[in-house]
């Protein structure tokens, strides 16, 4: 049966690590994907990457269903590679690993992502707007990058200091 996993929060150092490619597409991989979807839905998130639950492998799940005007559809991306980007979009982002904080981030508005599905089959998806933002946000987690790292240097410094302090209060 699927289970809800614990979500790591900033400043956990596992969120800064580079994750490893998935090479085996077996039952344990499917169980992890299922557990991550359940964990994302439980916390009312719209995206969750494996390093956020302490698994340093290159995969994430997305379902925009909790966002106004977006359809419910579960996406699974394994070993994603973003290419052919264009345009810019500014979106107010949050993150399950940075609870209670949101800020505007500028990203590409249109992307192509090549990835593998849970059976290891190669897939390509063209994504726009919120889905493109979500894929870029989750893909960053696989390289140890948080949306806080996409803020201006001054804002990033102030916010990281405040968030790290709030943990130790
Ligand atoms: C990443 O973010 C994302 O602070 C997913 O108290 C962000 O699911 C993709 C959440 C923006 C696209 C656009 C955050 C829930 C969830 C919180 C999330 C909170 C409760 C964030
Ligand atoms: Co996140």
- Tell me the per-residue pLDDT of 44-86, one tens digit each, with 9 for 90 and over: 999 999 999 999 999 999 999 999 999 999 999 999 999 999 9
Atom of ligand 1 nearest to the CA of 93: 11
- Which residues are annotated as catalytic? 138
pLDDT digits (tens, 9 = 90+) for 9-55: 999 999 999 999 999 999 999 999 999 999 999 999 999 999 999 99
Closest-CA residue to 43 (of 8, 1, 91): 8
pLDDT for position 166: 87
Looking at the CA of residue 40, tell me the nearest atom of ligand 1.
8
**Per-residue pLDDT tens over the stretch 94-151:** 999 999 999 999 999 999 999 999 999 999 999 999 999 999 999 999 999 999 999 9
- In this structure, what DSSP letter does residue 50 have? G
So what's the pLDDT on residue 167? 80
Mutate to test the pocket of ligand 1, among 10, 15, 46 (most ligand atoms within 8 A of CB): 46
Spacing, Cα 71 to ligand 2 middle (Å): 20
């Amino acid at each position: 049966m699927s289970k809800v996993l614990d979500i790591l929060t900033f400043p956990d150092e596992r969120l800064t690590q580079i994750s490893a490619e998935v090479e085996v597409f077996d039952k344990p991989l499917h169980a992890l994907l299922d557990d991550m979807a359940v964990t994302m839905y439980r916390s009312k998130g719209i995206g969750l990457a494996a390093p956020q639950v302490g698994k340093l492998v290159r995969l994430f799940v997305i379902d925009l269903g909790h966002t106004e005007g977006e359809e419910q559809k579960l996406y699974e991306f394994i070993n994603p590679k973003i290419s052919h980007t264009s345009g810019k979009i500014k979106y107010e982002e949050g993150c399950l690993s940075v609870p209670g904080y949101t800020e505007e981030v500028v990203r590409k508005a249109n992307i192509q992502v090549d990835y593998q599905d849970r059976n290891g089959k190669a897939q390509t998806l063209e994504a726009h707007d919120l889905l493109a933002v979500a894929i870029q946000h989750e893909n960053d987690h696989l390289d140890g990058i948080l949306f806080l790292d996409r803020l201006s240097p001054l804002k990033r410094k102030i916010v990281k200091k405040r968030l790290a302090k709030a943990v130790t209060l």
